[in-house]
Amino acid sequence: MNKKISDKDKEAWERFVNSKERIFNKDQIHIKSKLSNVEKSIDLHGFSLDDANKTIEKFIHSCFEDHITKINVITGKGSRSKNFEDPYQSKDLSLLKHSVPNYIKKNENLMNKILKIDYESVENPSKGNFNIILKKKSG
């Protein structure tokens, strides 16, 4: 199929190419909306329990404000923790893997921003991370 381009179409094309006016790029809206659903990660290796809890609280608030919908929290498996040797410490709650989700769950202010915590990953001994799905911020 061989169509001839009309002189009128050629002129319109030339005006467009030589014009300083640009057409609105509607793809930018799509790119921005995709970026707002970005996953962020935080690595809490080496943090004390208290520092990890303070850090995750600030991080969740920040992600919620930035319209992030998924957070990957890296805590480690706890397999090298020296806490197992102390009979006065909880074998679960002295590990970031268990204490951080427990802290979040007991913090009503944080839970108001959270849709779901992946507790299956927390309970899985071969995983050293878990995901948090945040609610969408209105407005």
Q: Which fold has domain 39-134?
A: Ribosomal Protein S8; Chain: A, domain 1 (3.30.1370)
**Which of these ranges, 38-52, 61-75, 77-91, 92-106, has the smallest mean pLDDT?**
77-91
pLDDT for 89: 43
Name the residue with higher pLDDT: 39 or 3: 39
For the chain, which residues make up each domain, given as ranges?
A: 39-134
Task: Quickly state the pLDDT bin for 21 (edges 50, 70, 90).
Answer: confident
* pTM check: above 0.75: no
Measured CA to CA in angstroms, residue 11 lies from 14, 20, 108 at distances of 5, 16, 64
Q: State pLDDT tens for residues 69-86.
A: 999 999 987 655 555 454
Tell me how far apart the alpha carbons of residues 37 and 31 are, in angstroms, rounded to a whole number. Answer: 10
- Average pLDDT (24-49) is 72
Which contacts qualify for 109-116: CB closer than 8 Å, 24 or more apart?
110/57, 110/60, 110/61, 113/60, 113/61, 113/64, 114/60
